[in-house]
């Protein structure tokens, strides 16, 4: 994403707590700094891409950064954060004259590299107008609503994505055990009403291939599912299936390494069936 912004002619300065990440970025020709506060110096737009609300709040409470952010600066949180915490954070920044948008993405590593991410934005139309020249270089921008709505819809999207993947994996394993070739099933599903991102992308590209390297971690998927289920509970919406799916994913997460890709659940399910018969 940083490379795409730099290639578009923007003056990009990057910071990461990881020395390896900074060195990698510098090796690609990007300007980097060794202290967080330096990244905000004279910045009109500050983009965050972090694991969760905890890290986002940590960054945006860092005095060295806050003293560098001028009134009118736009902070864009492209992480998958908790929408209610995002709203509270936006209010505290607004008191300093700093604008905020939440703009999580879907599309994975491939979408980031190609500039074809789906970017779900929460915030005011006027703040979005300020950030749009940057976001347009990263993908397709959809204004989801007021602040927090981007994070809310991203979590709900990932709840759907995770539920699709689990259901698809169960169906694929059942069909294979009955004697149907995996490729045949996928070709039928993808031409029928069972089609999803799991049947046309995840199963053929990351599961059947045996690579399990979609670029999105299982732990992050579980985190986003948890946000979506908690959101449903908060607003009084039904969440029976979502809660059940989350419980199943928690089981897989407990067995798999912390670094596991989320597509590993298909292999985990196959082992479960072979070991326990259910």
Q: DSSP characters for 87-137? A: HHHHHHHHTTT-EEEE--EESHHHHHHHT-EEEEEES-HHHHHHHHHHHTT
What single-letter DSSP state applies at residue 217? B
Q: Which of 116, 137, 154, 223 is catalytic?
A: 154
> How far is residue 190 from each of residues 84, 172, 197, measured CA to CA in Å?
37, 13, 9
Give the bridge partners for 120, in sequence order. Answer: 142
- Residue 39 burial (C-beta neighbours within 10 Å; 0-12, 13-18, 19+): buried
Q: In this structure, are residues 2 and 25 in contact, taking their beta carbons and an 8 Å threshold?
A: yes
Contact 77, 99 (CB under 8 A): no
Q: Residue holding tokens 């491939």?
A: 110
The whole-angstrom distance between residue 161's C-alpha and the CA centroid of its chain comes to 12
Question: In the annotation, is 116 catalytic?
Answer: no
List the catalytic residues. Answer: 154
């Amino acid at each position: 994403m940083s490379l795409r912004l730099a290639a578009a002619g923007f003056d990009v300065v990057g910071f990461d707590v990881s020395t390896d990440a900074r060195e990698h970025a510098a090796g690609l020709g990007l300007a980097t700094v060794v202290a967080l506060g330096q990244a905000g110096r004279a910045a009109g737009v500050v983009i965050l891409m972090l694991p969760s609300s905890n890290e986002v709040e940590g960054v945006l409470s860092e005095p060295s950064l806050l003293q560098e952010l001028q009134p009118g600066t736009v902070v864009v949180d492209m992480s998958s954060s908790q929408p209610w915490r995002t709203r509270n954070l936006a209010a505290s920044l607004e008191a300093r004259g700093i604008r905020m948008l939440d703009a999580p993405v879907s599309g994975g590593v491939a979408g980031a590299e190609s500039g074809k991410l789906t970017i779900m934005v929460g915030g005011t139309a006027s703040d979005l107008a300020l950030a749009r020249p940057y976001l347009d270089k990263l993908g397709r921008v959809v204004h989801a609503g007021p602040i927090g709505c981007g994070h809310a819809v991203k979590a709900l999207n990932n709840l759907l994505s995770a539920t699709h993947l689990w259901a698809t994996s169960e169906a694929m394993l059942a069909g294979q055990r009955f004697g149907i070739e995996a490729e045949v099933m996928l070709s039928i599903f993808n031409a029928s009403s069972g089609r999803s991102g799991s049947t046309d992308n995840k199963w053929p590209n990351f599961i059947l291939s045996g690579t399990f390297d979609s670029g999105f971690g299982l732990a992050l998927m579980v985190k986003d599912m948890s946000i979506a289920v908690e959101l449903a509970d908060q607003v009084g919406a039904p969440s029976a299936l979502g809660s059940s799916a989350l419980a199943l994913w928690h089981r897989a997460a407990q067995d798999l390494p912390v670094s596991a890709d989320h597509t590993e659940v298909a292999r985990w399910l196959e082992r479960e069936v072979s070991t326990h018969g259910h």
